[in-house]
Amino acid sequence: MRALITNDDGIDSPGLAALARAAADAGLEVVIAAPAHEHSGASASIIATQGTAVTAAGGKGTVRSERRSVPGFAEAYAVHAAPALITLLALHGSFGGVPDVVLSGINRGANVGGAIMHSGTVGAALTAGQGGVRALAVSLDVGLVDGGTQHWHTAAALARRAVGMLLADRAGAVLNLNVPNVADADGLELVEAPLAPFGIVQTTMTEPAGDEVRLSIREHRASEAPGSDMERLAAGYATITSVRTIAERNA
């Protein structure tokens, strides 16, 4: 099976390389296509940063991409576009054969709760799911402040476990995996957990200030959402959540 590896942190992210290696170790044929530059918070945007725009229905546009060297992998592309657009291009065969699965990450920072709708990592996975392709978004909970050791190998090991679950799921299934930033993957338990109703941080107030708008945010405590992905992750578990793609509500 062919796996597209993408992310929103960019082609040079160590998390991307770690996820690609995990996919290869799981027996998947790997092609890497990731943003040339960081696109965190891009959600499911289909914006290209270099190329020509489509100006009318039926018109044509371009997206710039270039081959890039990622150690251990022959097929790697730096694409000047958001991760959801990269996924969409891949589903149309732009980077070789159409992928059977899409693996997005490993993101630097957790993607939990309702705020995953803003994540470029999750946006790429949801785009794949909408196209009928199974997808997994993977994130490492390194906290809100950069610094310290980032245990990509731990998230990669849990991703390998989750790939088995993904391949056994229905076509178009989307799974969201969050992994604690700990050194030992063997001791981690992987649990299913629902999304928290909010993200780790939430905007609480906006205030006009001349030509600017000031924002106030608060950090949520995991205990505010017992049993959720946010609370289980804070308790030291790796969490996995099945996420629905866009669909109308019946009844």
pLDDT tens column, 21-56: 999 999 999 999 999 998 888 888 888 887 765 655
The yes or no reply on domain 2-195+225-243 and CATH 3.40.1210.10 is yes
pLDDT(1) > 80: yes
pLDDT(161) > 90: yes
What's the mean per-residue pLDDT of the chain?
Answer: 89
The token duo for 108 is 């630097």
Considering the chain, what percentage of its residues have pLDDT values greater than 70? 87
Q: Say what the pLDDT of residue 119 is.
A: 93
pLDDT(198) > 90: no
Residue with tokens 């785009």: 127
pTM for this one? 0.90
Going from N- to C-terminal start, the domains of the chain cover 2-195+225-243
Q: What is the pLDDT of residues 67-90, one digit of tens each?
A: 998 888 988 999 999 999 999 999
Residue 87 backbone class (left: φ over 0; alpha: ψ -120 to 50; beta: rest): alpha
* Cα separations in angstroms, 90 against 53, 55, 62, 101, 172: 18, 22, 14, 11, 15
d(CA 158, CA 136): 12
Q: Say what the pLDDT of residue 50 is.
A: 76
Q: What is the pLDDT of residues 86-140, one digit of tens each?
A: 999 999 999 999 999 999 999 999 999 988 998 999 999 999 999 999 999 999 9
